[in-house]
Structure formats: structure tokens, C-alpha cells
Structure 1
Amino acid sequence: MSYHLTNINKTVYGTKLSHNDVYVILELYFLFNWTQNNLAKEFNVTKDTIRKIVNGKSRKDCFYLYKYQRDTHIPQLDDLVKKHIK
């Protein structure tokens, strides 16, 4: 089965963060070495929420797509991350 980072602008019911937000969080954390505290402030969520995302405990669908298919979606991720990098 093949998955794609399409329709990543969707927000999951009951969440503050869209799929885009989660991919950006993962990119900023793993590639740009942002701290969990800085990510929590940037996205207006708790540090616990960020911790669960970057450890793959929540938003598992986004976590696994990011970890295993990131390389095929670098241009999309670059565009999403640009507005958070100053």
C-alpha cells in the first residue's frame, strides 16, 4: 500500500493541529533541532502534545509518513517550513 502526503491540510476532528502542522513540527524538531518548548510556543499547544508527536505516540499516521516517506516529499515540506524559519 502506498501513502502520499496529499490533503495534508486536513485537521483531524477534535485537534488543534492540522496534518501540515504535524509535518512541520516533525521537520523542525528532527531537521532544525527546535526544542519541544519552542515548538509548543510556536504552535500554541502543550509540551506534552509535542513530546507525544515527536515520539510517535500520537498522530501516528503523520509520524510514520514523515519518517518513512519524507524523502519523496522534500519540496512540500520545505514550503511548509519556510514560514516558521526566520
Structure 2
Amino acid sequence: MSKRRSFGEVVQVQDEDGEPLCLVKLIPTADGAQPDDCMYACGDPDCREWRIAEVLDDKAKPTGERIYHVTECNMSDPTKSSLKE
């Protein structure tokens, strides 16, 4: 079961193989739309797809890049090794 997330939360996103891809911050869309239902058959009926996320560096600072259509089943809490002091 994936964890429910909220706007402003920093999460680790995994690639298709489950390997860490990048840190992102979940941000609202300009129109204020809420997350959609998951686009995958992940088996979690409450899983949601976030429309937009801001990519962060290893110090959790914005890189200026964004990624789109990120699902909760492809997110995890950041690990200490993914964040540098």
C-alpha cells in the first residue's frame, strides 16, 4: 500500500525498476487541481497521481526542472543518503 501524500511534501521518486531517480517536491498546478487516481494497476485503490512535481538537488533545493504525472506507488520517503548536509 502506498502512502498518502500532500502538497509541499518532499519525496523520493523511483524509476520503472524501483531504483531511486530523484527527489521532488509535490506542488499544486496553476488551476489548483487535486491529484488524480493512479494510472497504473498497482493494486492500491487509494493511490493517487500527482500532476506536477519540482525536482530538487541532494540538498533539497529546486533545480528549476519539473516532472509530471508522478504516482504515489512510485514514491517513498527520502532517505538520509539521498539528502546531503
Q: TM-score, normalised by structure 1?
A: 0.26
- Answer 1 or 2: which has greater helix percent: 1
Structure holding more strand per residue: 2
User: RCO higher in 1 or 2 (8 Å CA, sep ≥ 6)?
Assistant: 2
